[in-house]
Amino acid sequence: MQAARCPTDELSLSNCAVVSEKDLQSGQHVTVRTTPAHKFVFTVKCHHSVLPGTIAFSLPQRKWAGLSIGQEIEVANYNFDKSKQCIGAMTVEIDFLQKKSTDSSPYDSDKMAAEFIQHFNNQGFTVGQQLVFSFCDKLFGLFIKDIEAMDSSILKGEPESGKKQKIEIGLLVGNSQVIFEKSESSSLTLVGKAKTKEARQTIINPEWNFEKMGIGGLDKEFSDIFRRAFASRVFPPDIVEQMGCKHVKGILLFGPPGCGKTLMARQIGKMLNAREPKIVNGPEILNKYVGESEANIRKLFADAEEEQKRLGANSGLHIIIFDELDAICKQRGTSSGSTGVHDTVVNQLLSKIDGVEQLNNILVIGMTNRPDLIDDALMRPGRFEVKMEIGLPDEKGRVQILNIHTAKMKEFNLLSGDVDVKELAAETKNYSGAELEGLVRAAQSTAMNRHIKATSTVEVDMERAEKLQVTRTDFMASLNNDIKPAFGTNQEDYSCYIMNGIIKWGDPVTRVLEDGELLVQQTKNSDRTPLVSVLLEGPPHSGKTALAAKISEDSQFPFIKICSPDKMIGHSEISKCQAIKKVFDDAYKSQLSCVVVDDIERLLDYVPIGPRFSNLVLQALLVLLKKTPPHGRKLLIIGTTSRKDVLQEMEMLDAFSTTIHVQNISSGEHLVEALELLGSFTDAERTTIAQNVKGKRVWIGIKKLLMLIEMSLQMDQVYRVILTTIITCCIFGTTMSNERVIATDSLDHKPDEELNRL
């Protein structure tokens, strides 16, 4: 037969070869052989305008089969084997036929598939075939990408066997499944279930591994972020559309410095099969020229806007990462300047994330150490709705982080066998990820320093350097000397309070320590009382601060801080409140914390003349003492005071869970016990004092006693005898006359006889 042009546009859209009714009947299938190696299957339709002996093809058909007008071709009948060649599923690539007729309207692929099957029912299709399809008054170019045969079990009325067989040529039937996929460069917007058949490409890179990416200790946090921010993007879009679900557009990561916020945000871009993230430091947005700061925000979203207009729901994910978000998104109306730049930047960011023309193809990740400074409007759902605290790593997390930073040393056998990562993790309570990395670097430096010869020139001992290994000793030296946790326990803070140790002169001291241990265990073990507070009250010099420091030290809590008046000298009331609040805020960042609020009446600026005190500090303390720590955190507060009566008047005693009385040495037996423990006097001197105080009531604080004893150690033996009497007088509260003080002050001017008389 001879190839001809299709007589009408309507017949061109039928996907049939058109013949004369004298040659063939409508609905028959034929093979068209152009060369001995190439044959194509067509379904035919009869039309009166076609001459006998000719077969008419549309332009897409001629292009697919490589036919030219007037070409002689061999045409033969073709019969489909319906047990093997019925189409079960056919994947069709679709695009606008003419690029100038593109639009952004969504096309329902389910309706499209139903119309396709109705229009082309009982026609033959071949992989690689091209055709034209009319839908909603638009012309689309189709390309047959893949054909799967229908399971023969279904044709026999049996349960589906699950076997899928690819075929080259198939017959479209009423229960075939047609799956539309838009072409790679197409701007067509498809909606509905039938738009893709293949397992959708996950946005998560299948090769990602947190430890390989250099992130450790954040498994739970990442799991929560994934659940909120990425689950809807991984799920099949048709189900997401049916649920009416919107993707999360913003994540706010906050927490202490050095815990991995920036690192995590950077690595999320590598983890996702998305475009390279745009990483912006907050201060870089600001510009001295009017309107430029807002323009910088608009530039960040320009690519996402352009792609959403062009591709609609098929647009890829654009990630924008703001580091130090609090620099540009402060609460509106709080800036003292007259320009209002910060306010307009916040407004611009709000409109881009969730404004009138909102974008659905963006994920904005913000990071800050100060979430309290950020404008409230940014924190509502639809904007930065996923708020995740990246806190200090727990022991398991510290093991992961240390493994990451020692992996290369292990690989090249540079880490000694005596280094136990689990031991280091246990020793590094409250260390952030950055501090753990610093610890490894410090240990490496210590190890390398051993192989440097410091002579007239600095040289490396190459023979020994080749055997370099970082040992446990290097890590311990760095742990003790080089790297200290910013949110941890600074031993220097409380060591000065107990430099003389705790003198257990009797049961009163032992009871205080036992009660303190009981409260420590309650804080650790009780889930019902995450906040435990105790007030140690007693007379001056009775050792309250030392006992509080001892209880906190023995607790082994990862975070211990002493809030002391000596650190707030010269502070205004407001700055003092801020300093106290910061101590408590830092404590909330640790799983277990202990805060010692020392000398409360001094913190309150109390003086008996007036009386006067700082109401601002009082109210701040009352709030903080009663404030329950965040979920999963536990806090022990130990307060000390010498003026219980004053706190009672201020109604502050009710803020503490319990009160423990710390008393002075009040009996002669306790005094002798204290002197024996101190070991400063000879047996004869202790006997003299014991005889003087036997069976009598004494009253002296351990701190005052220690001061008097240390004074006596600086004197000669004769003077010590005199001081023994003076100590006894002081213990009993005896007041020395002026004459006796004068005589004592001028002892070094008296002859020996007068000394004996004295």
Q: What residues does 667 pair with on adjacent strands? A: 697
703 is catalytic: yes
- Structure-token match 């390989």, residue found: 212
CA geometry: angle at 649 spanning 648 and 651, to 5°?
65
- Structure-token match 């002050």, residue found: 745
Please report which helix (H) or strand (E) contains residue 59, including its range.
helix 59-65
Catalytic site residue from 599, 640, 704, 724: 599
Catalytic site residue from 91, 196, 406, 545: 545
Q: Return the HEC string of 104-148.
A: CCEEEHHHHHHHHHHHCCCCEEECCCEEEEEECCEEEEEEEEEEE
| DSSP 8-state code for residue 198 | S
Distance CA 4, CA 59 (A): 10
Contacts of 306 (CB under 8 A, 6+ apart): none
- Answer positive or negative: Cα dihedral of 227, 314, 377, 585: positive
Catalytic site residue from 626, 627, 696, 750: 626
Catalytic site residue from 189, 326, 598, 634: 598
> Each residue of 446-484: b (16+ CB within 10 Å) or e?
bbeeebeeeeeeeeeeeeeeeebebbbebbbebbeeebb
Catalytic site residue from 111, 524, 581, 703: 703
Asked whether the bond before 558 is cis by omega within 30 degrees of 0, the reply is no
544 is catalytic: yes
163 is catalytic: no
626 is catalytic: yes
The amino acid sitting at 666 is S
Q: Return the HEC string of 235-303.
A: CCHHHHHHHCCCCCCEEEEECCCCCCHHHHHHHHHHHECCCCCEEEEHHHHCCCCCCHHHHHHHHHHHH
Number of Cβ within a 10 Å radius of residue 206: 7
Distance CA 629, CA 588 (A): 6
- Of 585, 214, 235, 248, the C-alpha closest to 387 is 248
473 is catalytic: no
599 is catalytic: yes
- Structure-token match 């903080």, residue found: 624
- Structure-token match 């109604």, residue found: 651
CA geometry: angle at 438 spanning 434 and 441, to 5°?
140
Number of Cβ within a 10 Å radius of residue 166: 10
Six-digit token string for 595: 């805060």
The amino acid sitting at 436 is L
Q: Are 712 and 720 in contact (CB under 8 A)?
A: yes
User: What length does the chain have?
Assistant: 758
Burial class for 367, CB neighbours closer than 10 Å (0-12, 13-18, 19+): buried
Among the residues of 633-679, which ranges form H helices?
A: 644-649, 668-678
Distance CA 367, CA 390 (A): 10
Catalytic residues: 544-545, 598-599, 626, 703
